[in-house]
Amino acid sequence: MSWFHPFRTRRRKRATSVPFPEEWNRVLARNFPLDAKLPDDVRKRLRTLIQIFLAEKQFEGLGGLEMSDEIRVTIAAQACLLQLNLRDTYYPGLSSILVYPSAYKATGVNRYENGIVTEGEEVRLGEAWSTGAVVLSWDDVLYGAADCNDGHNVVLHEFAHQLDMENNVTDGAPVLPRRSMYVAWARVLGREYEHLQKKVSRNHRSVMDAYGATNPAEFFAVATETFFEKPIRLRAKHPELYAQLAEFYRQDPVSYET
């Protein structure tokens, strides 16, 4: 559709032509402490992306939650942190962010190696759908953002899944900047995934959450959380993994800590 790009360009110019609201700055100061660690130029870029994100994505409160700018800005800031230096598509497959007041129940399907498939209700903090939506628990959004050093952030996790889905396959390999990166990406992340599985099976501790051993897609999402929230430890313990993520995201979160 030849009309789409000019329309998108006009919409983005309109969204960023007004000053970033001071109330939104207060929201970030209150709910997203990682923002204060970012260099001034990065903080400025992040605010531009937040304005674009909020102009292009629809938010809906579920389970009685009334949508507010606080909710929208808090979620957008974390989602846009991943996009700071990526392509200017801003999650092209995503149209809606659905927010519950707290953890919610959803039907889950579990497939086991022996071929058995089970289905039942699960309590969830968030999920990413390939059909254009991310679902989040507001309580857990706030909890994940409040401690920017614990490696647990539901927004970073679910939006990493959204990046992973952009090539229509959720396999822990998002669309990389260059084709030449895929060989090293598969080698490094595949090896690190196997190492995490071994640590989990032996009850050994890791800088990354054990949930990353579930499958390659969850490994990428958990590695993303760790990359932004425990960058110094991740680089020290897993330098090649850190280097791959830094090349993909085109960011060096260790520099935000110094």
pLDDT tens per residue, range 210-227 = 999 999 999 999 999 999
Nearest to 127 by CA among 229, 221, 223: 221
- pLDDT band of 3, cuts 50, 70, 90: very low
* Kind plus residue range of the DSSP H or E element containing 104: strand 104-111
Predicted pLDDT of residue 11: 85
What's the confidence (pLDDT) of residue 100?
97
Q: Give the residue from 45, 102, 100 showing the smallest Cα distance to 77.
A: 45
* Residue 238 near residue 151, CB atoms below 8 Å: no
pLDDT at position 115, please? Answer: 58
| Dihedrals phi, psi of 13, to nearest 5 degrees | -65, -40
- The residue among 117 and 72 whose pLDDT is bigger is 72
CATH 1.10.472.150 in the chain, residues? Answer: 1-148
Angle at 138 between CA 135 and CA 140, to 5 degrees: 95
Residue 110's pLDDT band, with cuts at 50, 70 and 90, is low
More confident residue, 157 or 112: 157
pLDDT, position 2: 40
pTM above 0.85, yes or no: yes
Q: Write down the pLDDT at residue 29.
A: 97
pLDDT of residue 1: 39
> Pairing state of beta strands 133-137 and 96-100?
parallel
Given a cut of 50, whether residue 208 has pLDDT beyond it is yes
The rounded mean pLDDT for the chain is: 92
Task: Determine the average pLDDT of the residues in 235-245.
Answer: 98
- In this structure, whether the domain defined by 1-148 belongs to CATH 1.10.1270.20 is answered with no
233: buried, middle or exposed (CB in 10 Å: 19+, 13-18, 0-12)? middle
CATH placement of domain 171-258: 3.40.390.10
Model confidence over 55-104: pLDDT tens digits? 999 999 999 999 999 999 999 999 999 999 998 778 999 999 999 999 99
Query: Which tokens sit at 43?
Result: 């903080």
Intervals of CATH 3.40.390.10 along the chain: 171-258
